């Protein structure tokens, strides 16, 4: 995994152990200048555009009764934090306390939060807005289906998400939303954060310069 240390990174996670997968989604922020109208006045402001770098899945084995190895999850997150600056992390409260505590040891503003219905609607509406306005870049994700379960990849899963009665995010019984929850969380903390920089610095290239020998 090659990550660019000049970017600020954000982590979203959905913690399954024995029945559902444990998913993490890593995104970095690319500051973009947008035009917006506030109180009838046209303004230009910088916002964070989330760019997805990584989706990782740990799958429990129901056949062999093997749960997700949470120590391995924490080890992988530690490796990421040692490569780049992860500013914030947001995980579903279920099975995430130890992972969040370990992230905090690396200076990450990490939180395990109850993904209540109102909060899920909020972060999914935010993700929907980012997609419709083109202010997010998502990976072309694929899944390995070694058990012939006809699993959906992350983008297919996202398209199958349903809004129930305007106040609940859900999925059909034969589908899931583990990938989607992690992505929505990462996109939420990234897009709602203040941009830390509006450009990436590089050494200037002076064209046409030549040296003179005395």
Q: Quote the pLDDT of residue 174.
A: 67
Among residues 65, 54, 72, 73, the alpha carbon closest in space to that of 15 is found at 73
pTM for this entry = 0.85
- What are the structure tokens assigned to 183, written together? 């992505």
Three-class DSSP category at 74: helix
Q: Quote the pLDDT of residue 205.
A: 35
Q: Quote the pLDDT of residue 148.
A: 59
């Amino acid at each position: 995994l090659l990550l660019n240390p000049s970017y600020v990174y954000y982590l979203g996670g959905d913690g399954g152990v024995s029945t559902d997968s444990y998913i993490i989604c890593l995104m970095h922020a690319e500051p973009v200048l947008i035009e917006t109208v506030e109180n009838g006045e046209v303004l230009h402001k910088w916002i964070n555009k989330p760019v997805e770098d990584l989706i990782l899945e740990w799958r429990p084995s129901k056949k062999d009764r093997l749960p997700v190895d949470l120590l391995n999850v924490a080890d992988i997150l530690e490796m990421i934090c040692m490569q780049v600056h992860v500013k914030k992390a947001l995980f579903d409260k279920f099975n995430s306390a130890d992972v969040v505590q370990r992230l905090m040891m690396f200076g990450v503003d990490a939180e395990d939060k109850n993904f209540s219905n109102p909060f899920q609607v909020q972060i999914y509406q935010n993700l929907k807005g980012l997609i419709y306005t083109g202010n997010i870049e998502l990976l072309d994700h694929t899944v390995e289906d070694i058990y012939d379960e006809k699993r959906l990849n992350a983008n297919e899963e996202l398209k199958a998400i349903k809004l129930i009665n305007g106040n609940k995010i859900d999925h059909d019984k034969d589908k899931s939303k583990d990938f989607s929850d992690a992505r929505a969380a990462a996109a939420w903390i990234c897009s709602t954060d203040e941009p830390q920089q509006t450009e990436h610095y590089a050494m200037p290239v002076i064209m046409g310069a030549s040296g003179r020998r005395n």
